[in-house]
Structures are given as C-alpha cells and as structure tokens.
Amino acid sequence: MARFLRPKRVLENEPGSQQQRLHNEVIAPKRGWPQPAAGRAGYVAAGHIYMGTTSQVAGLYPWMQASGLPVEGVPLGPNLFTQSMVAIDPAGWVGKITNNPGVWIQGQPGVGKSAIAKRLCLGYAAYGYQVVCPGDVKGEYSDLVKHLGGQVVRVGRGLDRINPLDSGPLGRRMHTLPTADQDRLKDEINGRRSEFLHGLLSGAHGLGRRTNAPEASALTEALRTTTDRAEADPTIPDLVKVLRSPPQDVYDRLLVADHAQYVELAREVITALTNLCDGPLAGLFDGPTTTPLDLDAPAVSVDLRSLLSAGDQVVAAGLLATWSYSYAAVDTARAFGQASRPLILPLDEMWRALRAGPGMVGALDGMTRLNRSKGEVSLMITHSLRDLEALPTEEDRAKAAGLMERCDTLLLAAMPPSELDRVSAQRQLTVEERNLVARWASPSSTGADGAHVIHPGRGKYLVRIGSGERIGEAVQLQLTATELALYDTDAAMRRQFRKGED
C-alpha cells in the first residue's frame, strides 16, 4: 500500500479521533485524496494473479539474495552484475557471518591469486596487522614488504642463512626474564625444535619416514644435551656431534649397554642429519642465523627464490626450515606477551609447502585451528585440491582436507569444471556459480594472430562466505597504479616475449 503525506489544510478539518487523523495523514484512500493534484482515480483495476514454477517466476522476481556482503574491511572492486562495491573482512566478520578468519584462494595459474592475496596483505597492514611471509618461494612478496618498510631475508648460498634451531628474538633476551619464565621458555623452544627436526627427517632429504621410538628418544635427549652445552643457539652440526659421541644420559634413555648397540639404533638418524649439512642443503641451514627476524617491522618476508634451481626437494626442506623458524619466533614471543600485533600470513604455492613433509602439514593444521583465538588471518593459496590428495600418508591427507573446511572465506578464480566438482564436494556451489567460474576459465583467444592474450578470468573472483546457502558475489579486482607495479608477476614473461620478437 502506497504512503503519501496528505496536505495540511485538509488535516485541520479532519473529523474523528487523533489516531484516525494520524492514520489518514500517511495512508492514502483506495482511490486517492479528493482534492486538486491529489491523484484521485475514478477506477482502480484489480491486480492479476499468476502461477508458475520457481524457475519461471525467478525471471519476474530475480532477488535471489536479500543483501550483499557488508562493505567493510579491505575493498576489492565492483560486483560484476550490480556494480556495487565489494569488500571483505575475514577477521572482522568472525562471530557475525563467519566462524574463523581463514581465507582459501584457488584458481588457475595466471588469474591473479597472488594479486588478491597481496591486496589483503596491504589492506590489513593499514589496519595494523603485521604481514609475515615465512616462505616466499618465488620472491613475489619482497617488493610489497619493502614498500611497507619491512624486512626481507633472502636465503641461499652466498646470501642469508637461517638456523632452524634458532630460539628467535625472545630467546636472545632470555637472560632478562624471571627464572620461572626462563625455564618455561626453554621447554617451549626445545619442543618446537624437536617438532621441526622430526618433520625435517621425515622428508625426502632425511629418513623419508617418521622416526621410530628409539630414534625419537635419542634425538630428544641429544637435543637437550646440545642446548645445555651451547653458549648460544645450537645448530644441526652441534646436534650431530652429540649424537656421534653421546653422553651416558642418551645410553640410559635408550637402555643400551654399549656404543655399538647405540649405533645400531641411531645410525639412520645420524646419517640423515649429516646429509642435511652436506649436498644440496649445504650452507643454508647448518650454521648460525646471519640475519635475525625483526619482529618490530611492519612486514617480514623470507625469500627462497634462489632455491628454485636446486629442485623441489630442496625448496620443500627450505620451506619447512623457514616456517619453523619464522612462525616459532613469532608464536613464542606472543606466548610471553612480547608480540601484540595480529598477523596476516600468506601461504602462496601451498602445494610445495604441503610436500615439505608431515611437519609442515601438522604446522598448517595447527595454525588454522588456532587462528581465531590468535587473531591471525591465514591465506591458503593453491591451484587444485588434487594437491591435498597427493600427500603420501592417509594421516596427512586427512589433515590437509581440513584446511579448506576451516577457511570460511573462499575466493574462487577461474578453474575448469572438474576442479569445481572437487570444490563443490566440500563447499556446495550452485549450478549458476559453477557455470560462472567455469566461463572465466575458457580462453577467448589463442594468440595465433600475434595479439597479446589476456586470460578472460584475470582479476575475477567469486567471493563465497561460510558453508551455508549464502549466494557468492562475483567481483572484479581493481588495482591501483602502485599495486600494478608491485604485483607484476608477468614481467619476466613479457621480457622473454619481446626478446623473441627481436
């Protein structure tokens, strides 16, 4: 029923109660008010009633979603259909429309997954978050971190070196803590060191399997002895030295009578750790840290691009080492009240990290389970869910499958129907959503005519929130001129293309 304000001069002579006069003021009679320019109609036709199926009526009543996402947080760009602004705030939405601040970003190569991840990092940095990229495999975040005034540590031969057993910034200030806190910090640091060593040994450059009970006992006791003997942070060569010539405590823990019996139990662990200090990994993680992390910096990145030429196994070991060092340093400092800023953690090239070994899968699993209580925004970036299915053990595959489930914000870029089937099996998509994302993956040109081909899905994302029935929003990411320069991942390809033309 239409509501119109009735002219004041008519209201003054209106008979009846005050309530009736108020009602008559705002509700027009059926045929309108009987006065000039009041819109009175001599005849009002009755409305028509139609019946139809939900598919047909949807064309007449197209409002499938009551409202869009709240325009708060980090702006992305216009909705592809309504042109209204789309913004996302994974951290601010927790407890309102999401249950956790995790973000899952998936799509084909070249569609802009890294660009939208960097936009989120830049936006949250403006809100006071610290950007921490513990393992930047391709060096894609270095320019952004430098732009934010942060620290970039480049790991490689002749570059920076990281000691995975480093106690971090807080460990170097351990002597300033009360005695009780010093003991608690030592236990915390040794626990993290042990987790890292077990994860590293299970990888291809180590044992290629999990340590058994005698090996784990020997490693734990040797690590404790090495830490007590070292004046500074122990290194892997220090640990190998203790394992080769162990104290009596190690023999007692393993219940062995002589050195020969001990060697029989610990030989493979000793050999595997020795290999980590030699061969492809020599000079990377076998000495003291050359450039400690600056936890007061607005952003921190560990650049691993120099390891790419050494092969996937070396990169995997490097990822495990740098993640163990970086995240442990931040988390330990936070546990003692020394790091108050929330973090945003981009994990690009996630498939490489997952193949680093069970230690990495366990670390990511633990991180996504606790990111809500810690106020962390974790960005999981991958090409395909098949990366999760390719892990070697059933336990790792089960843990990895839960990573997507604990990300309430999905950013889906162009991908083929087969991949959308896998996504929909975990987070159900509508037929229209699947068709839309699949269309973005279809090439519009082959480039055979010599024209520069732009991927049809570049910068387009379906923003899907929660696991319920909320319809996703299609958005076109709009980058500023500064971002276009910072996020350019195709520069090398263009240089190669121009070189070929010449």
Task: Return d(Cα 34, Cα 45) in angstroms, integer.
Answer: 18
Q: Which two tokens mark 426?
A: 């975990």
Instruction: Tell how far CA 175 is from the center of its chain.
Output: 35
Residue 480 has pLDDT above 80, yes or no: yes
Residue 84 has pLDDT above 90, yes or no: no
Q: Which of 39-43, 74-78, 146-150 has the lowest mean pLDDT?
A: 39-43
Q: Which amino acid is at 22?
A: L
pLDDT of residue 70: 83
Over residues 356-366, mean pLDDT: 64
Residue 148 has pLDDT above 90, yes or no: yes
Longest C-alpha distance within the chain, in Å?
114
Distance (Å) of CA 66 to CA 61, 156, 448 = 12, 53, 45
Those residues with Cβ within 8 angstroms of residue 426's Cβ, 6 or more apart along the chain or in another chain: 385, 401, 404, 405
Name the pairing type of β-strands 299-303 and 151-154. parallel
Distance (Å) of CA 350 to CA 114, 162, 200, 314 = 12, 21, 17, 15
Neighbours of 495 (CB within 10 A): 10
Q: Which of 36-45, 300-309, 366-375, 427-436 has the lowest mean pLDDT?
A: 366-375
**CATH assignment of 74-129+344-356+376-502?**
3.40.50.300
Task: Return d(Cα 126, Cα 120) in angstroms, integer.
Answer: 10
Q: Closest Cα to residue 195, out of 390, 387, 367, 351?
A: 367
Q: Which two tokens mark 371?
A: 């990111």
pLDDT of residue 254: 85
Residue 428 has pLDDT above 90, yes or no: no
Average predicted confidence (pLDDT) for the chain = 78
DSSP code of 77?
Answer: E
Over residues 314-327, mean pLDDT: 77
Instruction: Tell how far CA 240 is from the center of its chain.
Output: 35
Rg of the chain over Cα atoms, rounded to whole angstroms, equals: 30
Q: CA 87, 88, 90 angle in degrees (round to 5)?
A: 165
- pLDDT bracket for residue 143 (50, 70, 90): very high
Which stretch of DSSP H or E encloses residue 86?
Answer: strand 85-88
**SS3 label, residue 311:** coil
- DSSP symbols for 321-352: HHHHHHHHHHHHHHHTT---S-EEEEE-SHHH
Q: CA 185, 190, 193 angle in degrees (round to 5)?
A: 130
- pLDDT bracket for residue 319 (50, 70, 90): confident
Which stretch of DSSP H or E encloses residue 463?
Answer: strand 460-465
Q: Which residue has the tokens 């203790």?
A: 242
Higher pLDDT, 175 or 70: 70
**SS3 label, residue 382:** strand
Distance (Å) of CA 200 to CA 208, 245, 313 = 9, 22, 11
Over residues 114-123, mean pLDDT: 93
Q: Is the pTM above the cut of 0.85?
A: no
Q: At what angle do helices 259-276 and 236-244 cross, to 10 degrees?
A: 160
First to last CA, the chain: 72
Q: Phi and psi at residue 106, in whole multiples of 5°? A: -140, 145
Residue 80 has pLDDT above 80, yes or no: yes
Side-chain half-sphere of 452: how many Cα atoms within 13 Å? 6
Name the pairing type of β-strands 343-347 and 85-88. unpaired
Residue 152 has pLDDT above 70, yes or no: yes
Contact predicate 375/414, CB 8 Å? no
Report the percentage of the chain scoring pLDDT > 90: 14
Distance (Å) of CA 273 to CA 217, 237, 239, 473 = 15, 8, 9, 50
Q: What are the tens digits of pLDDT across the range 191-215?
A: 778 877 877 777 656 666 777 888 8
Q: Which residue has the tokens 């031969």?
A: 157
DSSP code of 74?
Answer: E
Q: What are the tens digits of pLDDT across the range 256-297?
A: 888 888 888 888 888 888 877 777 777 777 888 888 888 888
Residue 105 has pLDDT above 70, yes or no: yes
Residue 421 has pLDDT above 70, yes or no: yes
- pLDDT bracket for residue 8 (50, 70, 90): very low
Task: Return d(Cα 185, Cα 312) in angstroms, integer.
Answer: 34
For the chain, give every domain's residue range: 1-41, 74-129+344-356+376-502, 132-341
Task: Return d(Cα 431, Cα 452) in angstroms, integer.
Answer: 32
Sign of CA dihedral 141, 143, 145, 147: negative
Q: Phi and psi at residue 105, in whole multiples of 5°? A: -115, 120
Q: Which residue has the tokens 């009578």?
A: 257
Q: Closest Cα to residue 217, out of 161, 172, 166, 256?
A: 256
Q: Which two tokens mark 377?
A: 């925004």
pLDDT of residue 371: 62
